[in-house]
Structure 1
Amino acid sequence: MPSHAIPTGSVRVARSNNRCRSICFAMSRSSAFDRSLLPDALAEIAILADTHHTRPDDPSTVEFASRKKQAARARHALDLAASLGTDDMVHLGDLIQDYPDGSDFAQSFAKVGKELRQRHPGLKLVAGNHDVGDKPDVRMPTHPTTASGLQVFHRIWGRSWYRFRVGEVAAYVLNTQIMNTTLAANRRQRAWFEKSLGQEKQKRLLLFIHLPLYLSAPDEPDIGHYDNLGEPDRTWLMRLIRRYRFESVFAGHVHYRFFDRIGRTRYATLGSPSFTRPGFGHLFASAAPPERGRDDRAKLGFALLRIHRRGSSLHWIRTEAREPTDPPPEGRRVLTPVSGERARSPLGFTLCHALSSRHEIPLVWPATIRQPIRNDQPLLALAELGTGWIRTSWRDFLDPFQEERLRILKDEGVALVALVDLPEISAFLKNRERILPVVSGIELRLATGETIEPSVARRLGCIGARRRKLTLSPILPGMTVPGKQHPRTRTAWQFDELAPVRAMVTRAGLAVDRWRILAPPDPLPIDGADGVDLAVEFTDNDRANILEASWGLAQVAAGRGRRLSVYPVRDLDRTMDLHHGILDTLCNPRPVFGVLRLLNAILFAPGNGLCPASKLTGTRNGWVLTGTDGTAYRFIQSRTGKRARSRTGRSESKLYDLSGGTVRTISGERAVDTAVDGYFLIVIKNS
Structure 2
Amino acid sequence: MASSPLFRFAVIADSHVNPSEQDNISPFESHRLTNERLRHTVAMLNALAPAFVVHVGDMIHPVPEAVSYPQAVRQFRATMAALACPVHLVPGNHDVGDKQADYVPAGAIRPEYVELYSRHFGEHFYGFDRQGCHFAVINTSLINSGLPQEREQAAWLEADLAAHAGQRIFLFMHYPPFVATRDEHGHYDNIDEPGRSWLLDVVERHKVAAAFTGHVHNFFLNRHSDTNFYLMPSTAFVRADYSETLHVGQPPESENGRNDVAKLGVMVVDVHEERIVTQFLRSFGGGSDRSAAQRDWPRLPPSAGELPAPGVELRHGWTVLYDIPYSSMLDEFWRKRARNDYPILALWEMGVRRLRVPLDDLLDAGSRARMEAVAEQGCRFAVFHFGWPDEAALEVVCRHRHLLDGLELVLRWPPAPDLEARLAAAREHAGVPLVLSRFWNASGESRDGKQIKLLVDHGFTVDDELPAASAVDGLVFRIARGTAAREGVARAAAAAEGRGLRAQVHVRLADDSPAQARHDEWSNTCRVLETALCSHFHRGHRIFLDTLGDVDRGYFPRTGLIDRRGNPRLAGRALRNLNGALSELPPVRALDWHETADGVLGVARAGDAVLLLPLPEAPGRAWQGMMPGRPDRYQGYRVDLGTGAQTEVEGDADRPIHCEAGEPAMWVLRPVP
Indicate the TM-score class for this superposition, using the shorter chain for normalisation: 0.7 to 0.9
- Is 1:388–2:359 an aligned residue pair? no
- 1:276-315 equivalent positions in 2, closer than 5 A: 276-289=238-251, 290-315=254-279
- Aligned-pair distance for 1:93? 0.8
> 2:514 — aligned with what?
none
> 2:370 — aligned with what?
405
> 2:427 — aligned with what?
463
Greater mean alpha carbon deviation, residues 52-61 or residues 171-180: 52-61
Greater mean alpha carbon deviation, residues 565-574 or residues 593-602: 593-602
> 1:162 — aligned with what?
126
Which one of 303, 314, 317 corresponds to residue 354 of structure 1?
317
- Is 1:496–2:463 an aligned residue pair? yes
- State how far apart, in whole Å, the 1-side matches of 2:222 and 2:534 are: 35
Which residues of structure 1 form unaligned runs of 5+? 1-36
- Is 1:322–2:286 an aligned residue pair? yes
CA contact (8 A) 1:479 1:487 kept: yes
- Aligned-pair distance for 1:679? 0.6
Which one of 203, 224, 227 corresponds to residue 262 of structure 1?
224
- State how far apart, in whole Å, the 2-side matches of 1:372 and 1:483 are: 48
- Is 1:203–2:167 an aligned residue pair? yes
- Aligned-pair distance for 1:410? 2.4
> 1:663 — aligned with what?
646
- Aligned-pair distance for 1:334? 2.9
- Is 1:213–2:174 an aligned residue pair? no
- State how far apart, in whole Å, the 2-side matches of 1:297 and 1:579 are: 24
Give, as a single letter, the amino acid of the residue that structure 1 aligns with 2:646: V
- State how far apart, in whole Å, the 1-side matches of 2:100 and 2:116 are: 18
CA contact (8 A) 1:339 1:385 kept: no
| CA pair 557-119 structure 1, distance change in 2 beyond 3 A | closer
- State how far apart, in whole Å, the 2-side matches of 1:321 and 1:347 are: 30
> 2:634 — aligned with what?
651
- Aligned-pair distance for 1:139? 0.9
Which residues of structure 2 form unaligned runs of 5+? 510-517
Which one of 306, 319, 327 corresponds to residue 343 of structure 1?
306
| CA pair 231-392 structure 1, distance change in 2 beyond 3 A | same
CA contact (8 A) 1:419 1:445 kept: yes
- Aligned-pair distance for 1:320? 1.1
CA contact (8 A) 1:338 1:383 kept: no
- 1:162-201 equivalent positions in 2, closer than 5 A: 162-200=126-164
> 1:684 — aligned with what?
669
Which one of 618, 623, 626 corresponds to residue 601 of structure 2?
623
Give, as a single letter, the amino acid of the residue that structure 2 aligns with 1:590: R
CA-based RMSD of the aligned residues comes to: 2.8
> 2:508 — aligned with what?
537
Which one of 379, 384, 387 corresponds to residue 419 of structure 1?
384
Greater mean alpha carbon deviation, residues 300-309 or residues 658-667: 658-667
Residue-by-residue CA offset, 1:631-655 (whole Å, 9 max, x unaligned): 3221124666644334455233221
Give, as a single letter, the amino acid of the residue that structure 2 aligns with 1:182: G
- Report the TM-score when normalising by structure 2: 0.87
Which one of 237, 253, 263 corresponds to residue 215 of structure 2?
253
- State how far apart, in whole Å, the 2-side matches of 1:123 and 1:259 are: 24
- Aligned-pair distance for 1:464? 4.7
- State how far apart, in whole Å, the 2-side matches of 1:98 and 1:384 are: 33
- State how far apart, in whole Å, the 2-side matches of 1:352 and 1:328 are: 32
Which one of 459, 478, 491 corresponds to residue 517 of structure 1?
478
| CA pair 121-493 structure 1, distance change in 2 beyond 3 A | closer
> 1:7 — aligned with what?
none
- State how far apart, in whole Å, the 2-side matches of 1:287 and 1:392 are: 26
- State how far apart, in whole Å, the 1-side matches of 2:442 and 2:339 are: 38
- State how far apart, in whole Å, the 1-side matches of 2:324 and 2:96 are: 26
> 1:32 — aligned with what?
none
CA contact (8 A) 2:92 2:174 kept: yes
CA contact (8 A) 2:308 2:536 kept: no
Which one of 106, 113, 116 corresponds to residue 80 of structure 2?
116
- State how far apart, in whole Å, the 2-side matches of 1:159 and 1:596 are: 43
SS of match in other structure, 1:667:
strand
SS of match in other structure, 1:267:
strand
- Is 1:237–2:164 an aligned residue pair? no
| CA pair 305-546 structure 1, distance change in 2 beyond 3 A | same
- State how far apart, in whole Å, the 2-side matches of 1:409 and 1:446 are: 29
- 1:90-105 equivalent positions in 2, closer than 5 A: 90-105=54-69
Give, as a single letter, the amino acid of the residue that structure 2 aligns with 1:373: A
Q: Could you tell me the percent identity over the aligned residues?
A: 23
| CA pair 205-260 structure 1, distance change in 2 beyond 3 A | same
| CA pair 590-484 structure 1, distance change in 2 beyond 3 A | farther
> 1:11 — aligned with what?
none
| CA pair 112-148 structure 1, distance change in 2 beyond 3 A | same
| CA pair 85-121 structure 1, distance change in 2 beyond 3 A | closer
- Is 1:435–2:406 an aligned residue pair? no
> 1:4 — aligned with what?
none
Which one of 586, 595, 606 corresponds to residue 574 of structure 2?
595
Give, as a single letter, the amino acid of the residue that structure 1 aligns with 2:71: Q
Give, as a single letter, the amino acid of the residue that structure 1 aligns with 2:303: G
- 1:47-58 equivalent positions in 2, closer than 5 A: 47-54=11-18, 55-58=20-23
CA contact (8 A) 1:554 1:625 kept: no
| CA pair 577-131 structure 1, distance change in 2 beyond 3 A | same
Residue-by-residue CA offset, 1:202-252 (whole Å, 9 max, x unaligned): 611111100111101122111xx1101122221111111111111110000
> 1:3 — aligned with what?
none
CA contact (8 A) 2:476 2:506 kept: no
- Report the TM-score when normalising by structure 1: 0.86
- Aligned-pair distance for 1:458? 3.0
- State how far apart, in whole Å, the 1-side matches of 2:75 and 2:450 are: 64
> 2:555 — aligned with what?
576
- State how far apart, in whole Å, the 1-side matches of 2:29 and 2:301 are: 34
> 1:6 — aligned with what?
none
Give, as a single letter, the amino acid of the residue that structure 1 aligns with 2:338: I
- State how far apart, in whole Å, the 2-side matches of 1:391 and 1:278 are: 31
CA contact (8 A) 2:297 2:581 kept: no
- State how far apart, in whole Å, the 1-side matches of 2:325 and 2:3 are: 43
- State how far apart, in whole Å, the 2-side matches of 1:208 and 1:682 are: 41
CA contact (8 A) 2:427 2:471 kept: no
CA contact (8 A) 2:423 2:471 kept: no
